[in-house]
Amino acid sequence: MKDSFDREIEYLRVSLTDRCNLRCEYCMPEDGIEDKLQHPEILSLEDMFTLIKEFVVLGIKKIRFTGGEPLVRKGALELIKKVNDLDGVDEVTITTNGVLLEDYADDLYKAGVKRINVSLDTLDPDKFKEITRGGDIQRVFRGIEKAQKVGISPIKINTVLIGGFNDDEIEDMVNLTLYDNIDIRFIELMPIGQAAGFAKSKFLSNKEVLKTLPDLKAVVKDDISSPATYYKLPHARGRVGLINPITCKFCSDCNRVRLTATGKLKLCLHSNREIDLKSILLAKGDLNKAVREAILTKEEEHQLEKMEYINRSMNEIGG
């Protein structure tokens, strides 16, 4: 399935919920979501599966489940297994904050999840509690350890680089790649939703990583559509990825679209434009045609450099 710029669209990110068990400063309000989605607004897991099947028929090969925090959605494991069993699906993965990973790692592996992304912005317990507004980092550490034990590998740790908060931990984070099959991916802070002001005041370019660790050497990219440029320390097992949506666009290789928990198709993370697939599904419309026509309108590139920021917060969209 190609868009109008001849990009092969084969990656779907599915948000299971807008709810989360943390309150990260750059993602959610301190008191949580003011207008929580009500049950009738959220796609049932059955309807979500129906939509995902249609995407797979059209050529989607990789599915990533996100949130909010995907593991807080009741029935998530059953859906993941059903999707993994679909003909044409090469890989099913999740992005999680790791808080519930210790409890679910074994079941995730049995459901077909062979690798995961864990969002973790610091290794310091006090700073973790601060940025997440109360989170317990030890639960995340135990979750990562359990995931490794059951065979989930590699584990990718996504770290949002935040000026004045974790820029003094760059070397410590990178050193995690020395002895374990762990990739650390530094992500530039993006101005999204109500956190746009926070992002602009705390922004730090990923160039800081290369300045801090000049021994990092670029490695050949194994997936051209990946937003990360990868590096390694000499003799390290894992890699260091830099994802630079602000200082270096990677839109020309974008192969992904997003499905929100409310059944909206987002063709670009940084666009407010959404297509209501839930309404088409409930009206028993032609989903195949709707998706194909929508893909042909996928934006060529985002406009962050023009300070065109989206209204919705990341927990509403799916990371």
Which fold does the domain 11-317 belong to in CATH?
TIM Barrel (3.20.20)
Q: pLDDT tens, 147-201? A: 999 999 999 999 999 999 999 999 999 999 999 999 999 998 877 765 666 767 7
- Between helices 287-295 and 45-57, what is the axis angle to 10°? 60
Q: How far apart are CA 194 and CA 204, in angstroms?
A: 19
CA 232 to chain centre: 22
Q: What is the pLDDT of residues 201-255, one digit of tens each?
A: 788 999 999 999 999 999 988 888 888 999 999 999 999 999 987 677 778 999 9
- What does pTM read for this prediction? 0.92
pLDDT given for residue 71 in this prediction:
97
Q: What's the pLDDT tens digit per position in 245-300? A: 767 777 899 999 999 999 999 999 888 899 999 999 999 999 999 999 999 999 99
Strands 11-15 and 256-259: parallel
What is the number of residues in the chain? 319
CB neighbour class for 208 (10 Å; exposed up to 12, middle 13-18, buried from 19): middle
For the chain, the structural domain boundaries read 11-317
